[in-house]
Amino acid sequence: MTFKLEIPSIKYGEVISQNYTCDGKDMSPALQWDDAPQSAKSFILIMEDPDAPKGTFVHWIIYNIKPDVKSLPENVSKELTTPEGWAQGKNDFGKIGYGGPCPPGKQVHRYFFYLYGVLQAPDLQPGMARKDLERLLENKTVKRASFMVKYGRAYEHA
């Protein structure tokens, strides 16, 4: 069994719908996962763009996801703590919640969603940045799943 993360409406490596970008509705896509590690006490999801001009750019940090959760719905609210009880961190746009792909110019970028199964109770404070989670991710990750999509303004959009 392999810990697997996916966006149900798209295949790995394909172009993400414009609805999920700054050119569209800028809402988070639905995500689902299977075969999560039994020992995980919570999940942390980080979406990042490694192709950004100044280095990896964080688009979304959401955590305190309890171990019995197997998916995130489309358009998660952009609040420090969601109605479901999940905490969200600060992205590199300086905002809380999801910030969709928004590459400069006509470059095509890759966007990775990383889901970490961690040995951390779902009790972290909301508003954390990626750097605040580094040690925890390094020392308490049981398993990680990933999913990659692409987006660039060079593409024709339907």
pTM, two decimals, is 0.94
Q: Residue 22 and residue 156: Cα distance in Å, rounded? A: 15
4-152 placed in CATH 3.40.50.800: no
pLDDT in tens, 96-137: 999 999 998 888 999 999 999 999 999 999 999 999 999 999
The whole-number pLDDT of residue 154 equals 63
CA distance readout (Å), 66 to 3, 55, 125, 131, 154: 16, 31, 14, 22, 38
37-52 pLDDT per residue, tens: 999 999 999 999 999 9
Contacts of 130 (CB under 8 A, 6+ apart): 46, 48, 58, 61, 89
